[in-house]
Structure 1
Amino acid sequence: MLNRIKWDEDLYKDKDGNEHQNECELVWEGQTKQRNFGEMKFKLCPTEGFARDHFKQAGVEHYWDQAYSTAVLASSGQL
C-alpha cells in the first residue's frame, strides 16, 4: 500500500473544511499465525466506531486501536 497507491494525488477535507494531502504510514509489520481477512477490498467507514466494528468482526480491533492512537498522537504533535 505504501508504494502502489499514489497517495499525494488526492486531497481530503477535514471537519473544518481545510484541505490536506493524503498519506500512508506503516503502523505494524510482521507475521500472524492465521489470516483474519479474506479478499482485500476498500471499505468506506464514515465514523471511527464503524471502522473499529469492521475490524472487530475479523477479531483484530487492536489493529484499528493502534492505527487510530498513532494518528491522534501525530495530529497533536506528540510523535
Structure 2
Amino acid sequence: MAGAPHVVIDPPDERGGRRVRVAGEVLGRAYGLRDVTEFLRRAGLEDVDEEQVAASALIEWRGGGPATWDA
C-alpha cells in the first residue's frame, strides 16, 4: 500500500458497520476486513489483501482496531 492515500475507518455504528473514507471520500460501510479490502481495491489498490489492511500504517482505525466490528 505504499504511496496510497490516507484511509479512515470510523467507529462501528449500531449495526456493526464502519464507514470507510479514502482521501476524504466516503467509499461505503464495511462489516469486516473483506469489505474494507474490496473498497480499497475499487479505489485503485488492486494488490491489497486483508492482512495488509489490518497492519497498514496508512489506515486510521477510529473507535477500535481491525478486529472491532461491534458498537
TM-score w.r.t. the length of structure 2 is: 0.31
Of structures 1 and 2, the one with the larger relative CO (CA 8 A, separation 6+) is 2
Larger radius of gyration: 1
TM-score w.r.t. the length of structure 1 is: 0.29
